[in-house]
């Protein structure tokens, strides 16, 4: 690894001062499971690494019936995966957190790191997009909130400025009779990157779908929502035929590339299959 200095801030303010001072030459370190391999192979060569383990605000994991779920950016995926409140109220998030790497990786890998690394295939992105999460970002001018749908700006690019830090991700409560699911396709069951990932989140009311949110990973330069498919579901009973129709519409939102993980055609096929499966699971979890 190329040599660097490491800073160990003990508070958010100290961390922000460090970023203001040397942000462009710095990398924030949470779990390190993306950053360390990138530094080892020379893709990233920061002069300074700022370790977040001493910053309490990025380690919060709290759930409130009114304000929703707060996941500190440095909370490890494994903690999210095992949290009863996440599993019960935000199942799609728990689904995704359980899929990141091996248990050895999930005990380190953070939710915020998965988002800030901004791979189009990031597993945490689709469920958080489908749950309309917001990114809470701290910077020299204070705090700002950005809908996660505006957070990603390109492959490995986000709205974060060099002097800013993702503090936490806030997910509003989906409300009663809601259910969600995240499924990805990988050639191997473990330690693989999604060829396609799909999250669906539905809320039922009076026998019809009051709200539907569908998000896709690894089929565009950023994780995206499949809004046409969502619109087709809302206000209607979620019959298998309608779910098939939504799955077809979700494919239209995808603009996949062909690469070593799969062809564009295969990815479109996977969007259809995984949209159908996640909607079906989301519906069952909503208590239909």
Partner 1 sequence: MAKQILSSTINGEAVEVLVQPYETLLDALRETLGLTGPKEGCGTGDCGACTVHLDGKPVASCLMLAVQARGRSVTTIEGLSDNGVLHPLQDAFVRHGVPQCGFCIPGVLMAAAALLAEHPKPSEEEIRYGIAGNLCRCTGYTKMITAISEAAQAAAPRSA
Contacts with partner 1 by CB under 8 A lie at 1-6, 8, 29, 31-33, 36-37, 39-40, 49, 51, 53, 78, 101-105, 107-108, 189-191
Choice between 51 and 244, CB closer to partner 1: 51
Q: Measured between alpha carbons, how far is 254 from 198 in angstroms, rounded to an integer? A: 11
Choice between 47 and 144, CB closer to partner 1: 47
Choice between 74 and 282, CB closer to partner 1: 74
Taking a C-beta distance cutoff of 8 angstroms, is the pair 224, 152 a contact? no
Choice between 32 and 72, CB closer to partner 1: 32
Min separation Cβ 50 and partner 1, Å: 11
Min separation Cβ 34 and partner 1, Å: 9
Min separation Cβ 215 and partner 1, Å: 26
Min separation Cβ 2 and partner 1, Å: 7
Is residue 227 exposed (0-12), middle (13-18) or buried (19+ Cβ within 10 Å)? middle
Min separation Cβ 103 and partner 1, Å: 6
Choice between 98 and 264, CB closer to partner 1: 98
């Amino acid at each position: 690894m190329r040599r660097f200095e490491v800073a160990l801030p003990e508070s958010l303010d100290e961390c922000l001062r460090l970023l203001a001072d040397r942000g462009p030459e710095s990398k924030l370190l949470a779990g390190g499971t993306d950053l360390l391999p990138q530094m080892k192979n020379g893709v990233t060569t920061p002069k300074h690494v700022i370790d977040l383990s001493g910053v309490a605000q990025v380690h919060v994991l709290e759930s409130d019936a009114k304000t929703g779920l707060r996941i500190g950016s440095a909370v490890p995926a494994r903690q999210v995966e095992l949290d009863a409140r996440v599993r019960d109220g935000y199942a799609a998030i728990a689904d995704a957190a359980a899929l990141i790497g091996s248990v050895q990786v999930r005990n380190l890998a953070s939710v915020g790191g998965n988002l800030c690394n901004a791979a189009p295939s990031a597993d945490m992105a689709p469920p958080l997009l489908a749950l309309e999460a917001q990114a809470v970002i701290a910077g020299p001018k204070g705090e700002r909130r950005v809908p996660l749908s505006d957070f990603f700006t390109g492959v490995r690019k986000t709205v974060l400025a060099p002097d800013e830090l993702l503090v936490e991700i806030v997910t509003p409560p989906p409300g009663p009779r809601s259910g969600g699911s995240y499924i990805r396709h990988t050639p191997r069951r473990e330690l693989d990157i999604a060829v396609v990932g799909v999250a669906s989140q539905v809320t039922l009311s009076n026998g019809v779908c009051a709200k539907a949110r569908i998000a896709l990973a690894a089929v565009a330069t950023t994780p995206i929502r499949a809004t046409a498919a969502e619109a087709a579901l809302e206000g209607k009973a979620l019959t298998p035929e309608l779910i098939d129709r939504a799955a077809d519409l979700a494919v239209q939102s995808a603009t996949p590339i062909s690469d070593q993980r799969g062809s564009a055609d295969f990815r479109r096929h996977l969007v259809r299959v995984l949209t159908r499966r996640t909607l079906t699971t989301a519906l069952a979890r909503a208590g239909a």
